[in-house]
Structure 1
């Protein structure tokens, strides 16, 4: 079995190789993908997502079997507007689904300039947001329904705002008559590049846009074709995000357009005075089995929690670790093991001492139903293929009643080698390797993986329920690659 490991978190690579080596002793590892044979009997790839075109080509050419750590498309889960649509589709015909009561009310919005926010609210599929904002005008801030605005495509907490009125929402958006500093036009290319590196954020869909074309005809890509490589490099450079977010500045809404407004959950039980959420890791394998990692993370905000009308600071209201410097979340222990976090047993009085077990049960049920919904309602945006697996981070908020609320799903999640998070990531990677190799038929006779596999709890198996897939190969959309 030929193996290439070049994950998005390089510090994990050697550990992943060790986990594979322990189970497949005769595996051949390649550190440079240029040396990877175009054709092989079996191959296993763990990539960072930027050069999936060539990685899928190698997967296609495996004579026996292969496995790669990304589906052709997982937009239905990772894009916030598509995720909202999946939930709407699913619970429209299944009102008894758990998604109906564990996903905050979410409205999809197409926004551009602040001057046209009224038209955007009127054109939304759901007028609940428009009516709610109008009603809020006559209410005191503490009596209002609050909303959180999220760009559909951007991660790392960039562009998120909290609002309760139409004027507040408009105040966050770009103006049609935006005034630019004349000096900016005279900046050099090097200065612009430096500015981009400092202020830009990463799109949540690295390199996957060009894989929307799923072609079943046979073809191949030569990795040595310099012209193809140059074309691929141009495409990668073209994907450089242009969105620049300045502190407390307006969102570049005219460039982004697609947003969601999600009802903000105000009543939460603080831990050590801070807002927090639970991060669960979901492993989706083939077509389609979903597992949830038994070990969970509790992610804390960096400032003490106050409701948004008392403290509008995002550092108090949001638990995204991207809003914190590395020194901050290390010093404050913002990433903790959920099960061992020292919290009062009566944190959620209605559930008593077993409130963590109750939260875990809800996470398993909601996650399973969410992936089922995505696979059945938006198969073109969640394209499950037997030779693929993918690891997602699913974020949940816990309210004062112990009910969990789905916040978002992150593909290619970041793993930090700090505190509790580092050892947890290693145990997760070992379990992912054990389960995925078993999917390939690689069950080690020398190493007992029973306990390692048990860390991943199966919450969904749609193998016999999804229609048969006719996807034989995954090729780039751009024909110049072929």
Structure 2
């Protein structure tokens, strides 16, 4: 077996390799993918999400192989698509568990603050518009609050709280910003026209050869505007078909600029969701928290939930948004905290070991097993969401036998003990600090065990192997129902 390990968290690479060696002692690790044998019959790849395009080529020809990503998992990972999946699935299944475990979520297409009214009226669900209009005549503490999330941006960027149309508009970019840019362009054009009319200065212009030399570029499938034949035909400049260096092959995320307390660059993003805000929650050391569970989706289609879970805490003491509008008090995303803050404030804790103090007496009327009950809810909701995604959006959740993917699934537990699904994150971050580091290692060991089992390479029979395998709970198996996929090759995007 040939294996290529280049995880998004580099500190895990050597650990993953050691876990693989326990099952396949003669595995050959390839550190440079350019040297990876394309004709290898058995391959295992664990790579950074940015490098997946070239890695699929080796998987296509392998008889037995696995790679740590599906060709598309947008139905799960994109907030607007996930909202659509829940809406479609629950519409015909009133008994579905996701009805009472997913907050009301409205998909929005937003651009400029001046057009918020039109965007709210154009939404598929008018619940948000009605709620905001009713809130106008209510005191802040009596309003129904909402949380705005960009559909494609992670790490808590661009999230805002609002309860009225005016508050929502205040979070979005103004159209006048673009108007100012247009005016500047018009002024530049007028100055150029004046210079050309005067003809007083003779300006040297580069030759056509020099122009072509300066504007030459390497077209790739990841180059914006060149992913279709029309783009290639209409492109200008000298086109070179030689392979560009790796630095140019690596796709880059759009660089959105989110200023603290500033307006969201909505003209660049457009896709948002507004989710009903849950304010009645138990606190941990006076801070808001949510549960992070890990779901492993394997092949076509088995889903497992990791038994160990994290409790992620906000940076500041919690108060309802009408009393404390600070996002650091309302958002539990650890990406909003510095590394030193996470360690000093113990913002990551073991869910099973944490002590909510007086809040525990409020959960399930003082039931001592409320954590176990929360875990059972999480298992059921994860199974239902993945089943819904693969059946309602098969084009946006492409489950193939040679693929697996690890997701971080975030749940908020309210004061009644109900677990609410907030979002699903692909390629989750893994930290070395505190309880998070050892938990990540246990997770990686279990993932390797389950994936090697899927490939028929797992070492079985030992007590230790069984213990590692049992860290995962299988919550869904749709293999027999989905049947065999007719996709035989994964092309680069």
Q: Give the TM-score, by structure 1 length.
A: 0.88
Distance in 2 of aligned mates of 1:426 and 1:240:
28
Cα deviations by residue, 1:385-423 (Å, 9 ceiling, x for unpaired): 000000000000000000010000000000000000000
Cα deviations by residue, 1:157-206 (Å, 9 ceiling, x for unpaired): 00000000000000000000018799x99xxxxxxxxxxxxxxxxxxxxx
CA displacement at 1:229 relative to structure 2: 3.8
CA displacement at 1:354 relative to structure 2: 1.0
CA displacement at 1:234 relative to structure 2: 4.5
Distance in 1 of aligned mates of 2:73 and 2:281:
30
CA displacement at 1:228 relative to structure 2: 6.1
- Residues 350 and 402 of structure 1 are in contact (CA less than 8 Å); yes or no, is this contact kept in structure 2? no
Which residue of 2 is the match for residue 391 of structure 1? Answer: 406
State yes or no: 1:327 paired with 2:340: yes
Which residue of 1 is the match for residue 377 of structure 2? Answer: 362
- Residues 111 and 258 of structure 1 are in contact (CA less than 8 Å); yes or no, is this contact kept in structure 2? yes
Which residue of 1 is the match for residue 191 of structure 2? Answer: none
CA displacement at 1:443 relative to structure 2: 2.2
SS of the residue aligned with 1:449? helix
SS of the residue aligned with 1:353? coil
- Residues 450 and 469 of structure 2 are in contact (CA less than 8 Å); yes or no, is this contact kept in structure 1? yes
CA displacement at 1:445 relative to structure 2: 5.1
Specify whether residues 372 and 231 from structure 1 end up closer, same or farther in structure 2 by C-alpha distance, changes over 3 A only: farther
Which residue of 2 is the match for residue 462 of structure 1? Answer: 478
CA displacement at 1:342 relative to structure 2: 2.2
Which residue of 2 is the match for residue 83 of structure 1? Answer: 82
CA displacement at 1:350 relative to structure 2: 2.3
SS of the residue aligned with 2:281? coil
Distance in 2 of aligned mates of 1:232 and 1:16:
25
Cα deviations by residue, 1:324-367 (Å, 9 ceiling, x for unpaired): 01000110110100001122342515252111011011000000
**1:291-302 mapped onto 2 (5 Å cutoff):** 291-302=304-315
**1:25-44 mapped onto 2 (5 Å cutoff):** 25-44=25-44
Cα deviations by residue, 1:110-155 (Å, 9 ceiling, x for unpaired): 0000000000000000000001000000000000000000000000
SS of the residue aligned with 1:102? coil
Runs of 4+ residues deviating >4 angstroms: 179-182, 231-235, 445-448
State yes or no: 1:230 paired with 2:229: no
Cα deviations by residue, 1:244-289 (Å, 9 ceiling, x for unpaired): 1111110000010000000000100001100000000000000000
Query: Based on CA coordinates, which of the two structures has the bigger radius of gyration?
Result: 2
**1:47-446 mapped onto 2 (5 Å cutoff):** 47-62=47-62, 64-178=63-177, 227=241, 229-230=243-244, 234=248, 236-237=250-251, 239-344=252-357, 345-350=360-365, 352-444=367-459
Q: Give the TM-score, by structure 2 length.
A: 0.86
**Which runs of 5 or more structure 1 residues have no equivalent in the other structure?**
186-206, 214-225, 478-482
- Residues 5 and 13 of structure 2 are in contact (CA less than 8 Å); yes or no, is this contact kept in structure 1? yes
Cα deviations by residue, 1:225-247 (Å, 9 ceiling, x for unpaired): x956428854644x431311111
SS of the residue aligned with 2:444? helix
**Residue number among 429, 449, 456 corresponding to 2:465 in the alignment:** 449
Which residue of 1 is the match for residue 487 of structure 2? Answer: 471
SS of the residue aligned with 2:66? strand
Distance in 2 of aligned mates of 1:462 and 1:310:
46
Q: Give the number of equivalent residue pairs.
A: 440
